[in-house]
């Protein structure tokens, strides 16, 4: 009898355990939230940045170099004589001769060169298309009427001098050489002897 009760009790216990396991809590277990992949977030920014960044602009081509000015255009304007070239060389020789050998500090030589440089700086030329006015210390020394015979070459200009005031120069030819757009030189047309090459720079 006791064995039957024990067996019956075990059956009841097993049945209760099985029922609890199969039908105990009807609440479904919480679903584990799907973890968002980090890949879209990390790759989205570079993609958006790449789309937003404009393509580099093409490098512009350099502007074409303008053609050189013809000499007849560079000739027009106001210029001052430059203390250089043959004029400076002549002043140097004269200053050394004047200073002599007894000039240890070159005071006499330097004073002579300064004087020569200042004298040259007093010479100016103002040119138009047909007139050259040469002034010394602001006063016109020569007012020369001319015509241009060659003026399209950028480095050379040829003038036919007609009159210096009332003096007829009888078509004396003057060749002007340009070293750049603002500097030219020519042999002194008014020198009585030993004409030197004079250099003028635009003011």
Q: Strand pairing partners for 85?
A: none
Q: Strand pairing partners for 202?
A: 79
Please tell me what DSSP assigns to residue 154.
T
Domain hosting 97: range is 71-202
Segment 6-47, tens digit of pLDDT: 455 555 455 554 444 444 455 555 555 555 555 555 555 555
Nearest to 130 by CA among 168, 76, 167, 65: 76
CATH of the domain at 115: 2.40.128
Residues with pLDDT less than 70, the chain:
1-52
Domain count, the chain: 1
In a domain, 186, yes or no: yes
* DSSP assignments along 100-141, one per residue: -S--TT-HHHHHHHHHHHHHHHTEEEEE-SSEEEEEETTEEE
In a domain, 119, yes or no: yes
pTM of the model as a whole: 0.69
């Amino acid at each position: 009898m006791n064995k039957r009760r024990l067996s019956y009790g075990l059956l009841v216990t097993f049945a209760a355990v099985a029922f609890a396991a199969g039908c105990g809590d009807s609440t479904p277990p919480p679903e584990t939230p799907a973890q968002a992949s980090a890949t879209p977030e990390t790759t989205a920014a570079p993609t958006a940045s790449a789309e937003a960044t404009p393509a580099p602009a093409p490098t512009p081509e350099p502007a074409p170099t303008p053609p050189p000015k013809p000499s007849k255009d560079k000739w027009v304007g106001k210029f001052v004589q430059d203390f250089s070239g043959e004029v400076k060389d002549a002043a140097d020789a004269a200053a050394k001769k004047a200073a002599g050998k007894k000039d240890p500090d070159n005071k006499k030589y330097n004073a002579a060169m300064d004087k020569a440089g200042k004298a040259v700086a007093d010479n100016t030329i103002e040119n138009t298309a047909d007139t050259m006015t040469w002034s010394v210390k602001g006063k016109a020394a020569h007012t020369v009427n001319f015509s241009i015979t060659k003026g399209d070459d950028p480095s050379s200009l040829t003038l036919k001098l007609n009159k210096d005031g009332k003096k007829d120069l009888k078509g004396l030819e003057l060749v002007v050489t340009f070293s750049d757009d603002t500097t030219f030189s020519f042999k002194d047309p008014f020198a009585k002897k030993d004409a030197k090459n004079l250099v003028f720079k635009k003011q």
